[in-house]
Structure formats: C-alpha cells, structure tokens
C-alpha cells in the first residue's frame, strides 16, 4: 500500500501492530482460549461438587451460572460497539428529532451504498461493506467484522472526532475510512471482542440481528 492511501490516524497509534488477517486469527484464538480459561474451571467445579456431594447442588449451579455469564458479559461488551450512541437525555425521541440533520445525512450515506446495502442499513442501522479481511458491519461508533467463512465475529470500537454529527454521517465517515485503508482502519480501532456469531447476535438489539445474518451469508 502506498503512503498516500494510509489513514492519517495511524500516526496516533505508532506502537500498534498492523491488524491483518494473521493478527485477527491470532486474536480469535486468544479470545477462544480466554473463554475456556474462564468457563472450564467453573464447569469442572460445578460437576465435581454435584458428583461428590449432591447437597452442594445449589453452589454447583452457581458455579455453572458463572461459566455461562462471564462469556456473555464479554459478548455484550463486543456487541455494544454498534449500539446507537444517542445522548441518554434524548432516549425515547426519534433519530430525526435528536439529530435534525439526520434525514440529509441518511440520503448521503445511501449514495455510498448499493441498493441491498442501503435497504439493510435503513432497516438495521448497520452498513454492510465487503473487505479483504471479511464482511464489515458499520455502526455509529463501532464495527463488526465477520471473518471469511462466517465462523467468527470481531468487534471494534471506533468513532468520529465530531460527536455532534448525525448518526448516518458518522457511519459514512467510517465507511469512507474503511474503503481508503481497511487494514489501517482495523489497526486504529480498538478490538473489543472476538467470538462466535451466535454469541454476539444474542446481545445485539433485535433490529440489528438481520444485518449480522446478512453479513454471515456474504462471508460464507
């Protein structure tokens, strides 16, 4: 990649290793190992307590619950990167009421997307973009990356400098940055989680789940 194609924001994180396909595979294995590290001891403890002393079943169930809850909390953190970033005081108001420039921004974003991607974004709030690293879903302040084959989802927290931009403008900025330098985009973003699509889908708002399904089909 030539220098003029690199994102300027890369200069702010010179210590980071470029996020390429090899980096993503390594981090997927690390997240998988962490999940096993958190869950297997609790499962073994729970099963062992029931086997040794049936009266300890309530405590064993608590240990098994921890084995389930801890990975779910990490998945929730990952899925949260694409949740709407409206101010809390404006919850309950429509997007257009909270951000008066949103209708125009939505139209401009639509011009950057194909027909199917445009409809998907309007329905789910997430913009689908094919890349060399996989299939991306871009939200207001983050992105999901479905790896080739659809078996793994990486969650990235990344946003625009101007927090007052309408949501569609934020997505458009991220989309353009991704198209300019996909590897640089992933390097600048903060990697929040990597896991199975079903685990991430459970923690997404219901409205956004069809976008993840579409991205998995596209990556498969």
Count of CA atoms in the C-beta half-sphere (13 A) of 33: 6
Burial class (CB in 10 A: 0-12, 13-18, 19+), 19: buried
> What pLDDT score does 110 carry?
84
Please state, in angstroms and rounded to a whole number, the distance separating the CA atoms of residues 140 and 159: 7
**Beta strand extents in the chain (DSSP E only):** 127-130, 135-138, 142-146, 153-157, 190-195
> What pLDDT score does 166 carry?
82
- The C-alpha angle with vertex 122 and arms to 130 and 113, in degrees rounded to 5, equals 35
- Pairing verdict, β 135-138 and 127-130: antiparallel
Long-range contacts formed by 115-123: CB under 8 A, 24+ apart: 120/210, 120/211, 120/214, 121/171, 123/207, 123/210, 123/211
> What pLDDT score does 163 carry?
67
Cα 191 to its chain centre, rounded Å, is: 9
Give, to the nearest 10 degrees, the angle between helix 57-79 and helix 21-52: 160
Query: For 122-176, how does the pLDDT look when each residue is reduced to its tens digit (9 = 90+)?
Result: 999 999 999 999 999 999 889 999 999 999 999 999 876 666 778 888 899 999 9
State the average pLDDT for the chain. Answer: 86
> What pLDDT score does 11 carry?
86
Residues paired with residue 193 on neighbouring β-strands, in sequence order: 155
Query: For 12-30, how does the pLDDT look when each residue is reduced to its tens digit (9 = 90+)?
Result: 888 989 999 999 999 999 9
> What pLDDT score does 46 carry?
84
* Contact between 108 and 172 (Cβ < 8 Å): yes
């Amino acid at each position: 990649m030539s220098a003029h194609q690199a994102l300027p924001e890369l200069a702010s994180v010179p210590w980071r290793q470029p996020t390429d396909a090899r980096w993503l595979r390594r981090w997927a294995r690390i997240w998988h190992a962490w999940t096993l590290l958190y869950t297997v001891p609790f499962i073994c403890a729970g099963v062992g307590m029931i086997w040794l002393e049936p009266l300890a079943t309530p405590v064993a169930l608590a240990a098994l619950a921890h084995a389930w809850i801890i990975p779910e909390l990490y998945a929730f953190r990952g899925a949260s990167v694409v949740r709407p970033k409206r101010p809390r005081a404006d919850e309950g108001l429509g997007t257009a009421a909270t951000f008066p420039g949103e209708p125009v921004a939505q139209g401009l974003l639509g011009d950057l997307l194909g027909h199917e991607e445009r409809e998907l974004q309007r329905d789910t709030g997430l913009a689908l973009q094919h890349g060399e690293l996989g299939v991306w879903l871009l939200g207001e302040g983050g992105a999901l990356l479905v790896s080739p084959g659809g078996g793994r989802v990486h969650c990235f927290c990344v946003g625009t400098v101007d927090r007052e931009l309408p949501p569609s403008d934020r997505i458009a900025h991220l989309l353009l940055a991704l198209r300019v330098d996909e590897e640089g985009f992933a390097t600048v973003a903060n990697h929040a989680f990597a896991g199975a699509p079903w685990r991430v889908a459970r923690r997404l708002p219901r409205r956004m789940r069809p976008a993840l399904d579409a991205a998995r089909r596209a990556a498969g």
